[in-house]
Structure 1
Amino acid sequence: MTVLTIRLIPDDVLRQVCRPVDVFGVDLAALADDMLETMYAAPGRGLAAPQVGITQRLFVMDAYWKTGDPNPQIFVNPVIVERSDAMLTQPEGCLSIPGDLTDVTRPDAVTVEWQDVTGAPHRGTFDGFAAACIQHEADHLDGILITDPERAA
């Protein structure tokens, strides 16, 4: 596995809307593994493909590894299909914006549909910090950062 270079603001790739992944297999799995390696080395809890210069709809996360057992997750072509009415405001950091924490208000729970690196479909519901992490990384896939006015609380 390889630690990739994390792109920092104002790199233009962070503002691009990513295209769907349409090729699944060993190359995608290797990229996801490299992204996880990069995320852990940073050390972060999530990393989206544009943060390593790739404009595809892919992110990795491990929301609780800093306080519990590692649970790496890979989300290919994620779509948030439901959002709770309950909202949660908490500080968020971003590996592409080093040293900057921003209070962000987001739905406290989300239901997501995604594929894994083989193309198999998945669906899950996440709440609390994991839901915030998913929404943060999904924003990256649409070129949105935590410092954008529509995100900052």
Structure 2
Amino acid sequence: MRNGQIPGARGRVRPLTLLGDAVLHEPCREVTAFGPELGDLVEDLFATMYAAQGVGLAANQIGEPLRVFVYDCPDDDDVRHLGHVINPRLVEADGVVIRGPEGCLSLPGLEAGTERYDHAVIEGFTMTGDRLRVHGTGWFARCLQHEYDHVEGTIYADHLKGWRHRRLMRQAGRASWYRGTVPA
């Protein structure tokens, strides 16, 4: 996103990590170097997210266990939110809890009703090290919480309980992309 370029225009599409890969269940490391390599990672994240037709993507979803995520997501009023966050911290998640459909590029083709707050605030940094505060409502709040979960080593399936969790895991076990043992 340098010099007004379209995000991801100079990035490369990377393979996605999928359910069963350990990197998705480990907390990511803090970013300490704000240099060109970080800019390249952000570009690759955007390129990969757009190629997979997603609205958000965390670095561990392309095998990089760093606290970085990107997003291009509308809110409930169809206002587009586009950006990235380095070393995000979820500082607010409140309001009404809504169970809504949620999917993930690391669980392609699957979706489950997942409870999320309808308001979220993330603080962190830009790739150049400037402080950042992102407010989200509705669908965008869901996206922020989802991507924050990724850098914490959590996926949306971890929020599901009972039959919703069992059903999603059965679906994952039948998916052509799944290579592991179906988690409980």
TM-score, scaled to structure 1: 0.91
1:76 paired to 2:86: yes
Number of the residue aligned with 1:43? 53
Percentage of identical aligned residues? 38
Which residue identity is paired with 1:115?
F
Preserved CA contact (<8 Å) 2:56 2:70: yes
Number of residue pairs the alignment of both structures matches = 151
* Larger helix proportion of the pair: 2
Which stretch shifts more, 77-86 or 51-60? 77-86
Q: Which runs of 5+ in 2 are unaligned?
A: 1-10, 165-184
Q: Which residue of 2 aligns with 1:85?
A: 95
SS of the residue 2:156 aligns to = coil
The alignment yields a C-alpha RMSD, in angstroms, of 1.9
- Does residue 1:10 correspond to 2:8, yes or no? no
Shift >4 Å, 4+ stretches: 68-71
Specify which structure has the bigger relative contact order, considering alpha-carbon pairs within 8 angstroms and separated by 6 or more residues: 1
Partner-residue secondary structure (3-state), 2:28: coil
Q: Write the distance in 2 (CA, Å) between the matches of 1:63 and 1:70.
A: 6
Contact map agreement 2:70 2:84 (CA 8 A) in 1 = yes
Structure 2 CA distance for aligned equivalents of residues 40 and 151 of structure 1: 27
User: What secondary structure, in the 3-state scheme, does the structure 2 residue paired with 1:147 have?
Assistant: helix
The structure whose Rg is larger is: 2
Return the alpha-carbon distance in structure 2 between the equivalents of residues 125 and 151 of structure 1.
25
CA distance in structure 1 between the partners assigned to 2:157 and 2:14 by the alignment: 24
TM-score, with structure 2 as normaliser: 0.76
